[in-house]
Structure 1
Amino acid sequence: MDEILAKKLRILADAAKYDASCASSNAPKRSAGKDGLGSTTGAGICHAYTPDGRCVSLLKILLTNYCLFDCVYCVNRRSSNVRRARFSVDEVVTLTVEFYKRNYIEGLFLSSGIIRSPDYTMEQMTLVAKKLRRDHGFRGYIHLKSIPEASPWLVEEAGLFADRLSINLELPTEASLARLAPEKSGATIETAMGRIGERISQARAEKRRFSPAGQSTQVIVGADATDDSAMITKSAMLYGSYGLSRVYYSAFSPIPDASVTLPPQAPPLKREHRLYQADWMLRYYKFTAPEVAEATDGGMLALDIDPKLAWALKNRHLFPVDVNRADREMLLRVPGLGTRAVDAIIKARRHTSLRLDDVSRLTSGLKRAREFLVAEDYRPGATSQRLDLRAKLAEPAQQLSLF
C-alpha cells in the first residue's frame, strides 16, 4: 500500500470509530501491534452479524471526514480542527477487494461526512457498493450509512447493493437536535427511516433483495439531558413504527475544542451498557416501554443492578415464579433467566418436575434467579424480603473501556 493511501486509511478509519451501529464486538485482536488494522478495540476492522447469525469482520471507514454540517458533538464537524482526508470511490473499492483477498475482512462498513451535497455524498457511497458488486463480483457483507437528506431514489438504489442500511438518529429529541445539530431535522430522519422500512417490508413480501439485514440507527447518550426512560420510549417507537433491526447506543465522548454547550465529561459507560440491557428487554423479553420505565429511578437506569432485576425488585408481588408451572412470558421476567434458559426449562419440565439443581444446570444466572423462583424442592425464604436484597445482588463496580 502506498504511503498516501495508508495515511488516508489511518485518518478515515480512526474517524469512523465513533459510529457504533456496525455492531463492533469484544472479539480479540486479529493482529499484533498498537495500531494494527486488525484491532477490534481501535479503528480499522470491526465485527457485525449477518441475517443468518454469522459474525463477519468489516473494514470500517469513512469516505471522507470533511463535512458541510457543524454538529456540535461531532469531531468531524466543519469547524473542527482535525486532520482531513478523502478517499476516491476507486480507492475504497481497491482497499476492500485487497483486504478481502488477504482474508483480513469479509465486508465493508462505509459512512461519510457530507461533501458538496447530501445527494452527491450518497451517490458516491452507493457507487462504491455498486462497483464492488458488479465489477468485482463481491459477495461480502456491505453496510452503508444512509443520508436522510439525500433523494429517496438514491437511498433506495443503495438498498439494492447493501446488506444493511442505517440512518443515525443522533439525538432522541427535536429540541436537542435544534440545539446541537441545527442543520439536521428529526422529522427528515424519521421520514427517511419510514421509506426504507417500507421498501424492506415490500422486498421481503415479494422475495426480492433490498437491504436484507434490515436497517439500524444510532443515538448518542449523554450529550443532552434526555433520561434513560425517554431514550427507551423513543427506541420502542422506532422499533414499532419503522421496523428497525437495532438501535445502537453510543456514549458521548468529549472531543477536542468542544463547545461549552456540551457536557465537560463523558457519561458513565455503564449507562450505555444498561441501555442495551433495557433494549433487550423490549426486543426479546416482551417488556413494554412503560414497564422498562418502572425499572428506573427518576428516569435513569440504576448502574449497580441490571434493569430486569430492578424491575423485579419493584414488582415483588409477582414473585416467586414456579419454574414447573409458569408460562414463558413470566419466566422471561425472572432475573438471571435468559431466553435460552427459559426455553430449556419449558422443554425439560415436560418430562420431569424441576428441582433447583436442575435449574442450575440450565442457567448461569441462578444467583439472581433463586430469590424469584420456586422449584420442586425449593422456595425462597424470608431472606428474599430483606431490604438488603438489592445490595446482595448488586454487581461489583468496574471500569469499562470505550474503545
Structure 2
Amino acid sequence: MAVLDLRRKLAILSDAAKYDASCASSGAEKRNSIGGRGIGSTEGMGICHAYAPDGRCISLLKILLTNFCIYDCAYCINRVSSNTPRARFSVKEVVDLTLSFYKRNYIEGLFLSSGVIRTGDYTMEEMVRVAKALRLDHDFRGYIHLKLIPEASPELTAQAGLYADRVSINIELPRDDSLKALAPEKDPTDIKRAMGRMRLAIDEHAEPARKAGRRTFARGQSTQLIVGADSARDGDILARSANLYGAYRLGRVFYSAFSPIPDSSQRLPSMRPPLLREHRLYQADWLMRFYGFTQPEIIAEGEDLDLAVDPKTSWALRHRGRFPVDVHTADKEMLLRVPGLGAKTVERILAARRMTRLTLDDLKRVGAVLKRAKAFLITADWTPGALVDQESLKARFVQPRQLSLF
C-alpha cells in the first residue's frame, strides 16, 4: 500500500468523522494558562465546528485515528467490507496536528474517534496515548472529547476519563434488535455495561473534584442515535433517550439522520429521512431536558412527531383546554409549556410580574415570540378571542422549513 502524506490522511479521516454527531463540548471547564504555562483554552474564539447548548461556538479538530475497522456494521461507511479509501494516523501525528491547529487559532480542542483495529483494547489504548501525550507531555489545556470503545477494558476507559473533558459511547440504533441485525459483531449489553461503568466513574470523581476545585475526570458522557436507518418511530427513539438520561445520566443524546452510503445493504433505506425529522427530535429532546416534559407527553411510542409544527406547539394544540394562561398567575411549569416562551423568558416574566402588570410589549421585550404565544396567553392588555378549532389554529403556526428551536 502506498504511503499517504499527512494532508491526504487528514482529508480522509476528517471526512470519515463527519458521520459522528456527538461532539458538542457543553460544560467544558475553563483551563487558564497560569504563569504563561500551558496552551489552549476552552474559552477562546475559533472556527465554528460545533455549538454548545449555551450557544457558544466550539471549534474542534474532529478526526478518526483510523477508518480501518474489523467490524461490518451495515450502516457504516467504514465497515470492513466497504470500498472506501483508508488511512491511519500515528499517535504523534494526531498530537502534532492538534497542537499545530490550535497555535494557528483554527481550533479550541480535539474530538477523536476511531474504527476498531486489531482489538478494542488496542484501539482504545492508542486513543488514550493521544490524550495523555497532549495533557502530560505538552500541557494542553484545550478541550478533548474521546470516543470510547465499549468492548475495551474498564481500566482503559477509566484512563480515557482522566484525560478527556467528555467521552461518548455510541449506541447507534434506537432498538437492540436493529443493532443485532445491522451490526452483528456489536453487543447492546456491552455498550450499556460500558456506559454504566463510566457513569459510576464520573460520579466517584465528582465529589473529590468539587472539593479540590478542579476537574479530575471527564465531566460527562454522551451518545448518538441514528435516525431512519431502521423502522424505529420517533416515539421509540425518544423513549430510548429518556431511558438513557435516567439510567446513565447522559449529558446529551445526539440524533443523526441516516445518510445512505455506497454499496449499502438492501436492508437499509435508499433515501435519507427528512432533516426536519432530526430537528424535531432535537426539539423534543430539549423539552425533556429543560422544560419538564416527559416522553409520553410529547409523543407515544410507535408514533412520529408532527413535522408541520414543533413539539411544544403540537402539545399545546392537543391541550387547548389548558389555555389561555394568565402570565400573572400561571406557575413556572405551565409558562414553560406556552409556545413562544423560552426558559430564560419565563424566568424574566416571573421576576417582572412581581413588580408590575405585564403587557404584550413587555413580553416582547423579555424575549417572547408573540406570533406564537398570543393565542395561549392573557396579559394586562390582551385576551385571545374565541377558541378556534385545532386544525385552524395549527395552520397559523405552519411555516415552510421551520427551524427555530422554540
When normalised by structure 1's length, the TM-score is 0.90
**CA-CA distance at 1:399 after TM superposition:** 10
Q: CA deviation at 1:385?
A: 4.0
Aligned-partner residue type, residue 99 of structure 2: V
1:387 offset after TM fit, Å?
3.6
1:46 paired to 2:46: no
How far residue 109 of structure 1 moved from its aligned partner, in angstroms, is: 0.3
CA distance in 1, matches of 2:175, 2:11: 33
Give, as a single letter, the amino acid of the residue that structure 2 aligns with 1:107: G
Query: Do the aligned partners of 1:16 and 1:62 also contact (CA within 8 Å) in 2?
Result: yes
Letter in 1 for 2:265: S
**1:3 shift after superposition:** 7.2
Tell me, in whole angstroms, the C-alpha distance in 2 between the residues paired with 1:270 and 1:188.
32
Per-residue Cα deviation, 1:357-397 (whole angstroms, up to 9, x for no partner): 21122224211111111111211112544641101111224
Q: Distance in 2 between matches of 1:399 and 1:381?
A: 28
Which digits, 9 at most, give the CA deviation of each residue in 1:326-369, with x for residues without a partner? Answer: 11000000011100110111111010011122112222421111
SS of aligned partner of 2:61 = strand
Where in structure 1 are there 5+ consecutive unaligned residues? 26-43
Matched residues in 2 for 1:324 and 1:110: separation?
Answer: 49
- Checking the alignment, whether the CA contact within 8 Å between 2:224 and 2:255 is kept in structure 1 is yes
Counterpart for residue 257 of structure 1: 263
Q: Which amino acid aligns with 1:302?
A: D
Equivalent residues in 2 for 1:105-254, closer than 5 Å: 105-207=107-209, 209-254=215-260
Alpha-carbon deviation of 1:210?
4.5
Match in the other structure for 1:354: 358
| C-alpha displacement of 1:48 | 4.9
Distance 1:219 1:382 in 2: 43
Equivalence for 1:23: 24
**Once superposed, what is the RMSD of the aligned Cα atoms?**
2.2
- Greater RCO, CA 8 A, separation 6+: 2
Match of 2:36 in 1: none
Distance 1:200 1:333, change over 3 A: same
Q: Give the secondary structure class of the aligned counterpart of 2:5.
A: helix
Aligned pairs (5 A) from 1:78-89: 78-89=80-91
Alpha carbons 1:164, 1:215 under 8 Å: kept: yes
> Structure 1 residue 211: deviation in Å?
4.1
2:311 partner amino acid:
P
Q: 1:53 to 1:365 in 2, by over 3 A?
A: closer
Of 301-310 and 208-217, more deviation after overlay is shown by 208-217
Distance in 1 (alpha carbons) for counterparts of 2:246 and 2:48: 32
- Partner of 1:79, secondary structure, is coil
* Pairs aligned (count): 378
Q: Is the 8 A contact 1:162 1:210 kept in 2?
A: no
Where in structure 2 are there 5+ consecutive unaligned residues? 27-46
SS in 2 for 1:380: coil
- Asked if the contact 2:148/2:169 (under 8 Å) is kept, the reply is yes
Give the counterpart letter for 2:363 in structure 1.
V
CA 1:131–1:24: 2 relative to 1, 3 Å: closer
Do the aligned partners of residues 95 and 391 (structure 1) sit closer, same or farther apart at CA in structure 2, a change above 3 Å counting? same
Shift of residue 53, structure 1, vs aligned partner: 7.4
| Equivalent pair of 1:45/1:60 in contact (CA under 8 Å) | no
Q: Which amino acid in the other structure matches residue 262 of structure 2?
A: P
Q: In the superposition, relative to structure 1, how do residues 397 and 58 fare at CA in structure 2: closer, same or farther (>3 Å)?
A: closer
Residue 287 of structure 2 corresponds to: 281
CA contact (8 A) 1:132 1:138 kept: yes
Q: Which residue of 1 aligns with 2:306?
A: 302
Q: Does 1:332 align with 2:299?
A: no
- Equivalent residue for 1:33? none
Normalization by structure 2: what TM-score? Answer: 0.89
What is the DSSP-based 3-state SS (H/G/I as helix, E as strand, rest coil) of the residue aligned with 1:143? strand
Q: CA deviation at 1:56?
A: 2.6
* Letter paired with 2:223: T
Give, in angstroms, the shift of residue 23 of structure 1: 2.8
When structure 1 is superposed on structure 2, of 377-386 and 331-340 the one drifting more is: 377-386
200-209 or 5-14: bigger deviation: 200-209
Structure 2 counterpart of 1:7: 8
Q: Secondary structure at the match of 1:270?
A: helix
Moved more, 171-180 or 390-399: 390-399
CA contact (8 A) 2:202 2:219 kept: no
Deviates more, 1:383-392 or 1:190-199: 383-392
Percentage of matched positions with identical amino acids:
60
**Counterparts of 1:97 and 1:360, CA distance in 2:** 45
CA 1:180 to 1:386, structure 2 compared with 1: closer, same or farther past 3 Å? closer
Q: C-alpha distance in 2, partners of 1:139/1:55?
A: 18
**Is 1:22–1:48's contact at 8 Å kept on the other side of the alignment?**
no
